[in-house]
Structure 1
Amino acid sequence: MPSPSAQSFRAARDLLLDLREDHPRAAAEFTWPVLEEFNWALDHFDAAAAEHPDRPALRIVDPDGSETALTYAELARRSGQLANWLRAQGVHRGDRVLLMLGNQVELWETTLAAIKLGAVIIPATTLLDGADLADRLERGQVAHVVTNAAETAKFDHPAIAATGGHWTRISVGMVQGWLDYSDSLHTAPDFAPDGPTRADDPLLLYFTSGTTARPKLVEHTHTSYPVGHLSTMYWVGITPGDVHLNISSPGWAKHAWSNVFAPWNAQATVLIVNQERFDAARLLAQIARCGVDTFCAPPTVWRMLIQADLGAWSVPIREAVAAGEPLNPEVIEQVRRAWGITVRDGFGQTETTAQVGNPPGQEVRPGSMGRPLPGFTIVLEDPVSGEPAEQGELCVDLAGDPVALMTGYRDSEERTAQAMRNGRYHTGDIASRDGDGYITYIGRTDDVFKASDYRISPFELESVLIEHPAVAEAAVVPSPDPVRLAVPKAYITLAEGVAPDSATARAILGYAREHLVPYKRVRRLEFAELPKTISGKIRRVQLRGAEDDRGPVHDGARNTGEFWEEDFPGLKD
């Protein structure tokens, strides 16, 4: 007999599935389940395994064409076996486990096993170096590490030795001095928890990607992500039995969003297509071959996909979404022309699940990321008065006790208090709302800038720039100017085969001139590879810092690959 908490969770899930294409009713009728004790791996995943034991839960396609697939029943059994073995190695409730694995079966096995044990998972990307790991081990107060044999050498870094920490070493693959993960295969599979899991017990500690500062340590509970991602399931439109593909690297919150909780909440299949290097054609071929129903990718991937001939593939995709950064309208239009489906935008953060989105079956307005998703009350706060406004900082109203929100920044009570001030969670993002409740993203509070006393949204200018066929990616920042204080400057990554010369620069600046009002006009550009975080987000702060370091430019000095309006007669006002 399912526990009352499990029944409450299932009822909330089923309501969202039933109202998948009726956003007004879903927003009005959905309420977060009130849970006291809840363990998602035991109460939901294992129950799903009992209900549909032979349904594929995980399918991994590797670069060499080999595949691995596990059913819900196989993963339930295997994670129980691993949980028993980990407990025998000293992993107990509340212990912090640094989990640094690639997209491989052991990642999902360990995630489920840790949840069953009540351990706290610290996801980590394999791209981290020794100094990054030292920071996570120390600030995360790590007690146990699970990683691949190939990554174990990183833990010999002097910065890690200096922390003086003592933690259990578990390796997937044999390494001297490390416990061998494969020994868990000899353990009994029947798992019994040592007691109930409180719904508000900590489950996840995420180090944010740090686009502007040192990574923050975000804490989530057994409710906030497992249950909170009902909103993500609803936004994407995942239904039971779907094959869901999400392009995301382990170690980041979006991986948990769409490679663990949202699809498995719906009892769908998680599909992984591993690639040593991104290959649009191979990915599209696998989407067609594997029968993908729902597909999520960050804007960077969508921008690379439209460089391919999308119309050459007959894809079975029913629902397509983008997250991580705002999706440019030009990308949406190109996918619509090729496949006849609309890529739907959405908004969320490591600190939350999906807050705002365009769910299936609803009108998608160009440039808008949608409306508040069920369970969220969104307020746009005027930065001066602190009152609700038509344009302002996007905030989550705390009065409705939104389940899908972090408990706080684990390493900073001051930062938590600042984020949760005035009865609202402050996202740090600026947006506007129209009369029908549709919200349009403007930019990070750190990214929006003034030029000639006008407020400029980098995203709006970037969306125009990538419409030009020569532009693959763009990032706009203020460039110091002795007259205007600052002017918009675009750093441009060109499409393959395009020359970074003056003719290309003139064409792009001319295009911007034609499609932007004068005060928003891009007046300088520089051809460059855009700096990004290891999670793939553009670091505009780094570009802005480079411009600030130059100071007001009086002598017209240029960087290599940099062009100004003044260089092209006829473009300058």
Structure 2
Amino acid sequence: MAPDSTPPTNEATAEFRAARDHLLQHRGDIEGARRLPRPEGAYFNWALDWFDPEAHGNDDVALRVVDLAADGEVRAETALSFAALSGRSGQVANWLRGLGVARGDRMLLLLGNQVPLWEVMLAAIKLGAVVIPASTLLSPEDLADRVSRGEVRHVVAESGLTGGFAGIGGDWTRIAVGEPVAGWLSYADSAAVPAPFTPDGPTRADDPLLLYFTSGTTSRPKLVQHTHRSYPVGHLSTMYWIGLRPGDVHLNVSSPGWAKHAWSNFFAPWNAGAEILIVNQPRFAARPLLDAMVRHRVTSFCAPPTVWRMLVLEDLTRWRPPLRELVGAGEPLNPEIIERVQAAWGVTLRDGFGQTETTAQVGNPPGLVVKPGSMGVPLPGYEVTLVDAASGAVVTEPGAEGELCLPLDSTPLGLMTGYQQDPERQAEATAGGFYHTGDVAFRDADGYLTYIGRTDDVFKSSDYRISPFELESVLIEHPQVAEAAVVPSPDPLRLSVPKAYVVLVPGATADAEAARSILEFARGRLAPYKRVRRLEFAELPKTVSGKIRRVELRGRENELHGSGLTGGGESPARGKLEFWEEDFPRD
């Protein structure tokens, strides 16, 4: 239902609307979309200047949260309209203000996918508070680090998770969502406060809005700061990449606490005026999720490659949701996955690339011809330059690889303001007039970018540069392989050789015959210098956000093989279920 009267508006609202509508009008026209009229006003508060005007009298569903039991049965379902969330967030903002939450205060959120998460986020934006999203999987040590380094003044946490803060001292507000907790204020009390909210003044567009702790695949998590401009406005690029439209039902599989959750479960859908659908499961299972997609008529679906790899183990043709847009992000999508989804649903699964430090930078938006293996082209609001890591020179020739960088002479639309409390990392990340992503890619003659790997993931073998992602893409085409991670394994002759850590599909047996089959399969599809020469069946170490920690696997290889290939005797050192190509002599 459209708003029942003219909503309140101002110059900031009009600027944002013009940019958003420009992208909607140039769907399928990437060159036209890049002529984005960027909102440059000094003041902007997304919750007050965009969400509330759009929500005025709007009874369309903004958020639907569905809780499933382990068997897939619906345990609970809650749906709130845009108008209801607008009023409720104003109520929460008034309540928080009464507790002392002020503009610029840092607030840590430890909430799962439940309605209060969205209410508090909107309320915090209205107040001008700075939100620190946290994963519900964090340890007490992680939480202590975030409270300390984040200079947290207020915490909103699920009642069942408040125990993680037991040993953390300090003068900070404690708010529990759920059952009463001794020593914590009850979030339920916010329901007794009036809803109309009046801000204490205008919000500067460049005021801090979000502080994210990165997932730390290689080092201690960095503290990334975004503003009221860089994230809400910056996620216009994400809206365009996904292809969201007003009235869409958008489902994104992502856990709170990580940047991708804000990408696709908050800013991008509500920038478009789409419904956010949340499906909570005690443990991920593909079939109940697919059932929910059909039942709630999902038109747009985003999931990380790990989830896509589990979904394609099912016969997707059995489910026919009215899907129009399918995207994946977090790690590169393997061509095999894209092909299998296309065959089942007739919809192209499109890749995209971004970071905690940015919004969606590169992607395959709707209407762009998808090239297998490519992550797409620069999205509106971003220019992308490839830079040679050794010389610092800009790489221009097609096919040459370089670090993916963003020129800083014109500020990228969704780029962070910087790493907080870490001037050395900040200086390194912005050296030479570029923001350095730390990711290596190459650009073809048509301007498409193809991901190669992190600068610290790409390795040499016999003086050839090896991209783990390329080898992993081949490995998961094998019918028994569910996931794979390739790292260098020390070798006295070749410096290192590619070794694959492999997770098999359910029902497959990790034995010599499976190893032989997988190694032969890869040998037939890879150039000799890229050949996978060692394979080990093992679980893959991951961050709490689901990214593979290749740094941990590389460390294991160095411990196992770094001092030579004998483990104290004549036999080569091996992992528990490790096999080498020498184990399978060819006829």
TM-score where L is the length of structure 2: 0.95
Equivalent-residue separation in structure 1 for 2:559 and 2:512 (angstroms) = 25
Q: Name the counterpart of 1:19.
A: 26
> What is the CA-CA distance between 1:384 and the residue it aligns to?
2.1
Contact 2:364-2:375 within 8 A present in 1 as well? yes
Query: Separation in 2 of the partners of 1:32 and 1:496?
Result: 49
Query: What is the aligned counterpart of 2:565 among 534, 550, 553?
Result: 553
Deviates most, 503-512 or 390-399: 390-399
Post-superposition offset of 1:398: 1.4
Residue 94 of structure 1: how far off its partner (Å): 0.2
Note the 1:320-399 alignment, pairs <5 A: 320-389=326-395, 390-399=400-409
Q: Does 1:55 align with 2:60?
A: yes
Cα distance in 2 between the residues matched to 1:492 and 1:91:
48
> Contact (CA 8 Å) 1:470, 1:495: kept in 2 or not?
yes
Partner residue, 1:456: 466
Do the aligned partners of 2:382 and 2:413 also contact (CA within 8 Å) in 1? no
- Alignment counterpart, residue 49 of structure 2, candidates 43, 63, 66: 43
**Where do 5+ consecutive residues of structure 1 fail to align?**
none
Pairing partner for 1:87 from 97, 100, 108: 97
Report the counterpart of residue 535 of structure 1 in structure 2. 545
Other structure's SS at 2:211 match: strand
Kept after mapping to 1: 8 A contact 2:364/2:376 = yes
CA distance in 2, matches of 1:36, 1:430: 35
Q: Distance in 2 between matches of 1:569 and 1:70?
A: 63
Q: Would the aligned equivalents of 1:31 and 1:375 in 2 still touch at CA under 8 Å?
A: no
Please state how far the C-alpha of 1:569 moved relative to its aligned partner: 1.2
Q: Number of aligned residue pairs: give it.
A: 564
Matches within 5 A, 1:466-545: 466-545=476-555
Retained in 2: the 8 A contact 1:524–1:563? yes
Hey, what's the Cα distance between the residues in 2 that align with 1:452 and 1:497?
37
1:169 corresponds to which of 165, 174, 191: 174
Partner Cα separation in structure 2 for residue 141 and residue 331 of structure 1 = 42
Measured in 2, the distance between the counterparts of 1:432 and 1:446 equals 16
- Distance in 1, Cα, partners of 2:419 & 2:171: 24
Give the C-alpha shift of residue 512 in structure 1. Answer: 0.7
Structure 2: runs of 5+ lacking an equivalent: 1-7
Q: Among residues 175, 178, 203, which one is paired with 1:197 in the alignment?
A: 203
- 1:305 alignment partner, one of 311, 315, 334: 311
Displacement of 1:248: 0.2
Q: Assess if the C-alpha contact under 8 Å between 1:32 and 1:402 holds in 2.
A: no
CA contact (8 A) 1:56 1:269 kept: yes
* Partner Cα distance (1:45, 1:431) in 2: 37
**Who is 1:295 aligned against?**
301
Q: Distance in 1 between matches of 2:85 and 2:363?
A: 31
Q: Deviations over 1:65-120 (max 9, x none)?
A: 12100000000000000000000001000000000100000000000000000000
CA shift digits 1:294-314 (9 cap, x unpaired): 110000000000011111111
How far has the Cα of 1:383 moved from its partner?
A: 1.2
- C-alpha distance in 1, partners of 2:53/2:39? 18
| Contact 1:432 1:439 survives alignment (8 Å) | yes
Structure 1 residues 302 and 521, CA gap change in structure 2 (3 angstroms): same
Aligned mate of 1:438, from 441, 448, 467: 448
- Any idea what SS the aligned residue of 1:515 has? coil
State the distance in 2 between where 1:416 and 1:78 align. Answer: 38
Is 1:570–2:586 an aligned residue pair?
yes
Tell me, yes or no, if structure 1 residue 117 matches structure 2 residue 124.
no
CA distance in 2: counterparts of 1:403 and 1:438, whole angstroms: 20
Q: Does 1:9 align with 2:16?
A: yes
What residue number does 1:400 align with? 410
Matched residue type, 1:562 = E
Distance (whole Å) between structure 1 residues aligned to residue 162 and residue 493 of structure 2: 55
1:234 — aligned with what?
240
1:251 deviation in Å? Answer: 0.3
Per-residue deviation, 1:403: 2.5
- How many angstroms apart in 1 are the aligned matches of 2:47 and 2:499? 49
CA distance in 2, matches of 1:388, 1:472: 38
1:137 aligns with 2:147: yes
The question of whether the paired residues in 1 share the 8 Å contact of 2:133 and 2:212 is answered with yes
Aligned twin of 2:86:
76
CA distance in 1, matches of 2:394, 2:308: 34
Mapped partners of 2:106, 2:11: distance in 1: 28
| CA–CA separation in structure 1 for the residues paired with 2:43 and 2:209 | 13
* Contact 1:216–1:411 under 8 Å retained in 2: no
CA distance in 1, matches of 2:50, 2:425: 34
* TM-score normalised to structure 1 length: 0.97
Contact 2:18 2:37 in 1 (8 A): no
SS in 1 for 2:516: helix
Equivalent residue, structure 1, for 2:5: none
**Deviation for aligned residue 1:31:** 3.6
Measure, in 1, the Cα distance between the counterparts of 2:411 and 2:224: 18
1:557 is displaced (CA, Å) by 2.4
Equivalent residue letter for 2:575: N
Deviation (angstroms), 1:271:
0.3
The secondary structure found in structure 1 opposite 2:27 is: coil
**Residue type matched to 1:380 in 2?**
L
